[in-house]
Amino acid sequence: MNLDFTVEKYRELCHAVLNSSYTPVPVGKYLVGGVDGRAIILRHDVDDKIKYTLKLAKIESEMGLTSTYYVRMVSKTFKPEIIREMEDLGHELGYHYEVLDKAGGDYEKAIGIFEDELAELRKVCDVKTICMHGNPLTRWDNRDLWKHYDFKDFGIIGEAYLSIDYSDVVYFSDTGRTWAGERYRVKDFVDTSSDSFGVRSTDDLIDLINEGGVGRMCLLSHLDQWSDGYLSWIRTWAERSVRNFVKANVIRRVRRNYGK
Ligand SMILES: [Zn+2]
């Protein structure tokens, strides 16, 4: 059976990236102009299960890829030894902030939490870039913080949603266990759509990479959702299905409220 979103499939994707006409690059390196021409920016959000994510970070590194891992500052993901290990593998680490959610929408409180959590993470690893965490069940969009403050004041060179020009870089995300999935994205989106490329499965994405028809792309994946066996695939599929059902309802409610 050809299951998608498995460790084996992720290896195939990495293999395709490495053997393509694109240069793979982590976010920070991309933002400082580390790549001319065709590029695939590799980004991972560590929302959960960091120990499991480390296994895939090792696979990437063994294959010769470096990516950016954005880590949430919550007890289940802020694991200093694992974060250090990821950095030692050659990956970039970044701060996956959710401070407006944590501060209940209070901007002043939120920037205080941002400063504290960034300092905490910097005790463990180098942090040059940040990326907001999108919780579909809260009222706030964490990146709105930067309408009031400037992340450059904190020695940050870029924010993965705000600093990449998505009119030039096609954005693909595995949110909801599909690369198409705009139906299941509540906050995890950019202004331009990748739907016109018809990519749903990882095989579709691999075909697109092999064809090389897109100049630059950014791939966001949540590696803890890529299963290492049939049983874990079923379990993750079941969890995902419930989450997608909830998210689809949230989106329907938001759209109804805004008359969309
Ligand atoms: Zn996240």
pLDDT tens, residue by residue, 89-139? 999 999 999 999 999 999 999 999 999 999 999 999 999 999 999 988 889
Å from CA of 175 to ligand 1 middle: 10
CA distance 27 to 67: 7
Q: Go through 25-41 and write b for each residue having 16 or more CB atoms within 10 A of its CB, e for each that does not.
A: bbbbbbbeeebeeebbb
What is the whole-number distance in angstroms between the Cα of residue 238 and the centre of ligand 1? 19
Residue 96 confidence (pLDDT): 98
**pLDDT tens sequence across 158-180:** 999 999 999 899 999 998 888 98
At residue 3, the pLDDT reads 86
- Give me the residue spans of the domains in the chain: 7-257
Whose structure tokens read 């960091």? 50
What spacing in Å lies between the alpha carbon of 141 and ligand 1's midpoint?
12
CA of 74 to the centre of ligand 1 (A): 11
pLDDT at 196: 73
pLDDT tens-digit series, residues 194-242: 777 889 999 999 999 999 989 999 999 999 999 887 667 777 777 777 7
pLDDT for 172: 93
> Rounded to the nearest whole angstrom, what is the distance from the C-alpha of residue 139 to the centroid of ligand 1?
15
The predicted structure's pLDDT at residue 178: 86
Cα(20) to centroid(ligand 1), Å: 28
**pTM given for the model:** 0.88
Q: How far is the centre of ligand 1, averaged over its atoms, from the C-alpha of 82 (Å)?
A: 18
Distance (Å) from CA 224 to ligand 1 centroid: 12
Q: What's the gap in Å between 256 CA and the centre of ligand 1?
A: 25
Cα 242 to middle of ligand 1, angstroms: 17
187 has pLDDT over 90:
no
Q: What is the pLDDT of residue 218?
A: 95
Higher local confidence (pLDDT), 18 or 198: 18
Instruction: Quote the ligand 1 centre to 69 CA distance (angstroms).
Output: 11
Given the structure tokens 């960034």, which residue do they identify?
118
Indicate whether 51 pLDDT > 90.
yes
Query: Quick one: pLDDT at residue 123?
Result: 98
CATH architecture under which domain 7-257 falls: Alpha-Beta Barrel (3.20)
Per-residue model confidence as pLDDT tens digits over 60-73: 999 999 999 999 99
Is the pLDDT at 193 greater than 70? The verdict is no
CA 217 to ligand 1 centroid distance, Å: 19
